[in-house]
Structure 1
Amino acid sequence: MPAALTPARLRLARMHAQLLAGPPAAGVVGAVRGAAALQAQDLKASKLAVRARTSGLALADVRRAVAEERSVIRTWAMRGTLHMIPTADAGWIVDLFGPVVLPRFRQRRIDLGLDDDLCERAVRALPDLLASGRPQTRPGVVAGLRESGVPVPADGQAPFHLLLFAALRGVVCRGPDTDAGEATYVLLRDWAGAWEPRDTDAALAKLARRHVSGYGPVGPEDFAVWSGLPAGQVRRAWDLVSPSLAEVATDSGSAWALREVADAFPSPRSRPAVRLLGPYDGYLLGYKERAWALPPESARRILPGGGVIHPAVLADGEVVARWRWRGDAVVIEPFAPLSEEAMAGVAAEVEDIGRFLGIRATMDVAVG
């Protein structure tokens, strides 16, 4: 086995794997597939995640990919959370995660007045209700179901959990948000087309390989945390993909990367690779531990609790600052003074975020 990767090279290798350094992704689909998937419960954050992994795209390009080209969609997958995934992968991903996630929420559905029979009736009614192809808001879907004789509770969390059930059964997915930012829903088959069922082993192997490609070097414990799959499926997935992996030594133990990249990890250069990540970026969601990228003494500034992940500034893969909006100004809050080269990279990123969003973004640096 080659000499152990230093922490600096490990961080940079993972930054390259996430397409946050090195050659950018080719378009929106390339960014989404290259990162294995993009967290998308916050649509604005997922758009910033595309920006950080591409070059020259604008916000309109992401909107077009979602609403017109339909080349990427949002649905519930890894860990039962909303992700942006390539439309071509929707079938096998939903088929894999539906049977895993749905049982976890059964008691919650029952507590909300959504027993198994009611959920099945709703699933049978949704294709006719959404047959027009016009995206429907959540209240619109619920009203349509109630009018068709399916008495879905209209208040609280019941509508969300019903649509989550339908999405994980492969019936619906999220459509483009309205201009006011309200969620809509469409028939998955209308947006993704029909798909042939993929056997579970093939889906597990493909998912594990995509995680290693998009996050590596990693270990099976990282894949388990990122995917949320049961331990038995994690072991099976890792066994299936292992022949295509190479073991890599790190300061904290062994990790694995695809064989074709294991001998070509980049080394830090004099000018650091800098990226501004939006909230909930996958770079901080794909591993069991985060201390390799996020210094423990600064962790609470990015991870305050309650599942919140604040926007972060990366320099050669290490989180060195938090950032936030103040009007059209990007306020940088460094954990420690940044080098001149790093600040130049931050300034370039702020300018590019403004270009992407179609605004003139300025930069302020918070002191203290």
Structure 2
Amino acid sequence: MTTTSPRICRSASTRVLDPRALNRATLGRQLLLSRSSLSAEAAVEHLLGLQAQNVKPPYYALAARLEGFAPEHLSRLMAGREVVRIVTMRSTIHTHTADDCLTLRPLVQPARDRELTLFRRGLSGVDLDRLTALARELVETEPRTMKQLREALLVEWPDADPQALGIAARCRLPLVQVTPRGLWGRSGQVALTTAEHWLGRPAESAPTPETTVRRYLAAFGPASVKDMQTWAGLTRLREVFERLRSELVTFRDRSGVELFDLPDAPRPDPDTPAPPRFLPEFDNLLLSHADRTRVVPADLKGRSWQGNQAYCTLLVDGFLAGVWRLDEDALVIEPFGPLTKAQRAEVTAEGERMLGVMHKGSARDIRFGTVVRP
């Protein structure tokens, strides 16, 4: 991997990074240019968590990124309470390490407070401090489903909106999903308790915003202020970047937007090969920048979604190039455009590898066909 070392410059002549340069830099930090030897836990930490609205995506996300990964590696961490499933960034469920659960959740509390204001009308007459204490007592006595929690809170506030009561509990408390939910090859309904109770230790202070900016850039940079705000679901981060300006390098994208980065972070040559990768739905690679053209070509915007449904995505040469799904008997791949003979062979080989890692012993064909119609 060739790393460029541009001169630090903050004038109008600051180096411009085109989408391909941004693509290779981001893929390198996302462990998608070449598979990493990191452990599953170390990778979850480096990536600041894995999007986990469904159970399986974190497993597929690591399979694409790690050498020697097996689903049992992440499942054992979850069973051992070394990683957990919790609502954090963008008010969505993420798989985080225990340490990040106890720090990143407090970091995004302002976003949870803003979310709660949207349900003010349904919470008329509800003492939120009382609700927080009661909800904590309920879920720490025994894990509760959200339905059970809402019903118990309605006893105290019968005139409140049940949905709003549940959202208030989720916004005010760091509620984790207890196992067996989230374990590979297991099923289980969503039952909740507090992170402190599940992990056996108190929540920690939120990391300084500066610390989180550095970690974000290490995993997703180079990036703009708006990019990080999109990733975190937070606002007013400009002043944090300004405090860090003297220790960061800056670039511009083709639209003139200022991008920040760590001086020693890898920025591979734009011509660095990027092998095909099969990513799960909701992979953070596609969700963590305001401008997604570093991965999603402008003419393919919205092609990995249909209504509210997100599809598993295929990268070819580092960019979104198709979608895929697993049928009972086949891996079905739908490219968005023609593939060369060499690309088709590489995609097939990567698909065979993915099936071997994730579904060992289960025979499936690989077919090129239709997954979703535009």
TM-score (normalised: structure 2): 0.82
The 1:109/1:62 distance shift into structure 2, 3 A limit, reads: farther
Aligned position for 2:319: 318
Task: Give the deviation of 1:136 after TM superposition.
Answer: 3.4
Q: Which of 74, 80, 83 lines up with 2:91 in the alignment?
A: 80
Aligned position for 1:279: 281
- 1:165 and 2:171 correspond: yes
Task: Tell me which amino acid in the other structure corresponds to 1:265.
Answer: P
The 1:341/1:77 distance shift into structure 2, 3 A limit, reads: same
Task: Give the deviation of 1:27 after TM superposition.
Answer: 2.2
Task: Tell me which amino acid in the other structure corresponds to 2:113.
Answer: L
Q: Which of 101, 104, 118 lines up with 2:115 in the alignment?
A: 104
Task: Give the deviation of 1:108 after TM superposition.
Answer: 1.5
Deviations 1:263-310 (A, max 9, x none): x424434x542111111111111111223322232223213454x432
- 1:362 and 2:365 correspond: yes
Q: Which runs of 5+ in 2 are unaligned?
A: 1-5, 8-14
Q: Which runs of 5+ in 1 are unaligned?
A: none
Aligned position for 1:188: 195
- 1:351 and 2:357 correspond: no
Task: Give the deviation of 1:30 after TM superposition.
Answer: 2.1
Q: Which of 205, 212, 218 lines up with 1:207 in the alignment?
A: 212
TM-score (normalised: structure 1): 0.83
Aligned position for 1:120: 129
Aligned position for 1:89: 100
Tell me how far apart the structure 2 counterparts of residues 341 and 154 of structure 1 sit (CA, whole Å).
60
Aligned position for 2:229: 224
Tell me how far apart the structure 2 counterparts of residues 240 and 67 of structure 1 sit (CA, whole Å).
40
> Are the equivalent residues in 2 in contact too, given 1:174–1:186 (CA < 8 A)?
yes
The 1:107/1:225 distance shift into structure 2, 3 A limit, reads: closer
Task: Tell me which amino acid in the other structure corresponds to 1:125.
Answer: L
Aligned position for 2:10: none
Question: Which runs of structure 2 are paired with 1:336-347 in the superposition (5 Å)?
Answer: 336-347=337-348
Query: Aligned-residue CA RMSD in angstroms?
Result: 2.9
- 1:150 and 2:156 correspond: yes
Q: Which of 42, 47, 50 lines up with 2:62 in the alignment?
A: 50
The 1:73/1:242 distance shift into structure 2, 3 A limit, reads: farther
Q: 3-state SS of the aligned residue for 1:43?
A: coil
> Are the equivalent residues in 1 in contact too, given 2:19–2:293 (CA < 8 A)?
no
Task: Tell me which amino acid in the other structure corresponds to 1:291.
Answer: T
More helix by share: 1
Aligned length: 351
Deviations 1:111-165 (A, max 9, x none): 2x57541x43332134443445x6433334445656xx63578996346414412
Task: Give the deviation of 1:213 after TM superposition.
Answer: 1.0
Tell me how far apart the structure 1 counterparts of residues 98 and 285 of structure 2 sit (CA, whole Å).
22
Q: 3-state SS of the aligned residue for 2:353?
A: helix
Deviations 1:41-65 (A, max 9, x none): 2222222222222222222222221
The 1:326/1:217 distance shift into structure 2, 3 A limit, reads: same
Tell me how far apart the structure 1 counterparts of residues 75 and 336 of structure 2 sit (CA, whole Å).
34
Tell me how far apart the structure 2 counterparts of residues 115 and 155 of structure 1 sit (CA, whole Å).
11
Task: Tell me which amino acid in the other structure corresponds to 1:318.
Answer: F
The 1:67/1:157 distance shift into structure 2, 3 A limit, reads: farther
> Are the equivalent residues in 2 in contact too, given 1:152–1:158 (CA < 8 A)?
no
Q: Which of 246, 250, 257 lines up with 1:247 in the alignment?
A: 250
Task: Give the deviation of 1:222 after TM superposition.
Answer: 0.7
Task: Tell me which amino acid in the other structure corresponds to 2:99.
Answer: A
Identity of aligned residues (%): 25
- 1:259 and 2:267 correspond: no
